[in-house]
Amino acid sequence: MESLSSNKSFGGVQQQCEHQSKVLHCAMRFSVFLPPQATDDNPVPVLYWLSGLTCSDENFVQKAGAQRMAAELGIAIVTPDTSPRGVDVNGDTIADDEAYDLGQGAGFYLNATQAPWDKHYQMYDYIAYELPALIEANFPVSDKRSISGHSMGGHGALTIGLRNAPRFKSISAFSPIVSPLNCPWGHKALAAYLGDDQALWVKYDAVELMKKIKGDTAHLPPIKVSQGLADNFLEQQLKPHLLENAANQVNYPFEIKVHSGYDHSYFFISSFIDEHLIFHAQHLLK
C-alpha cells in the first residue's frame, strides 16, 4: 500500500492511498479520514462511503464537508473508488469508455459474471471484504463498521449492508437507486455485468432483498434515507417509495426524510451529512 497524499484536517488526517487489489486484479485508490481520537491504543469505528456514477474517491472528500463532524464524533471515513480504472477490457482501456453509466466510474458495487467485465469488476467482494480487511490491518480502526452512499453508491450501501447485516451496524443513503430492476440505469448495468437473466439481478436489488426478510428485524442494521424532492432522477431512476413500502411490509427499522427544493448534487449531501454521521455514531459507538 502506498500513501499518495496526507493533509491535516480538524485535528485528524485526510489521506489518499493506492494498493494492488487481489479481488479486482488492478491498482485501486481509496481515501481515509482518521479523526484525532484514532491511535493504536484507541482504534475507532469506520463509516464506508460509496460514491455515485462518474465519481472517484475524491468527490466526497472534497465536497461533502464530513471531516469536521467525523472528527468531533471520533469516526473514521473510508471512501473507495467507484470502479477499476485503466485496466484492459475488451481490447480497450476503461479510460476510453464513452458511457458515463457503464464501465469506469460505474461499477455498481456488484460481482460481474459476464465477459469482458468479470475479470476486474468484482466491486461487491472488494467493498464487503477485501477493503475492510486492508483498512483494519493498516490503520488504527476497529471492526465496527457502518456503510453509506449516494445514488449508485446508495444502491451499493443498501445491498451490501442488507446482505452482510452482522458486518455493518447501520446503513444510510442519499438519493439511492433502490431497485435496479425497475430503472433504466439498473437495466443497462445489470444486463451488461450479469447477463439477461433477471433472476440473477435480485441479490443486487435492495427492494427485493427487503421483501425476502422474515422474522424479527430488531437485530438488523437500521436504515436512514435522505431524498431531495427537486432531484431530476427521482421519478425515473430512484423511486425511494418502493423501498419504503417494502420496509414497512416487513417491519424493518427504516426511516426516510424528504427535503423540498434539494437536488441530486453534493450541495444536498453537504447539507445533511452531519445528520447521517450522528445517526451512524449512535450505532458505532455503543
> Residues with Cβ < 8 Å from 91, sequence gap 6 or more?
none
* Catalytic residue list contains 57: no
Q: How many CB atoms lie within 10 A of CB 200?
A: 15
Q: Spell 62-91 as b/e; 16+ CB within 10 A means b.
A: eebebbebbbbbbbbbbbbbbbbbebebee
Q: Which of 51, 148, 231, 280 is the catalytic position?
A: 231
The number of residues making up the chain comes to: 286
Q: Which of 120, 264, 276, 280 is the catalytic position?
A: 264
| CA dist., res. 47 & res. 172, Å (int) | 10
Report the candidate in 197, 166, 160, 163 with the shortest Cα–Cα distance to residue 181. Answer: 197
Q: Cα dihedral sign for 119, 120, 123, 125?
A: positive
* Catalytic residue list contains 231: yes
* Catalytic residue list contains 270: no
| CA dist., res. 241 & res. 228, Å (int) | 13
> Residues with Cβ < 8 Å from 54, sequence gap 6 or more?
82, 100, 105, 106
Q: Which of 151, 172, 175, 226 is the catalytic position?
A: 151
Place of cell 460514491: 51
**Region label for 111, one of left (φ > 0), alpha (ψ between -120 and 50) or beta (otherwise):** beta
Residues annotated as catalytic are 151, 231, 264
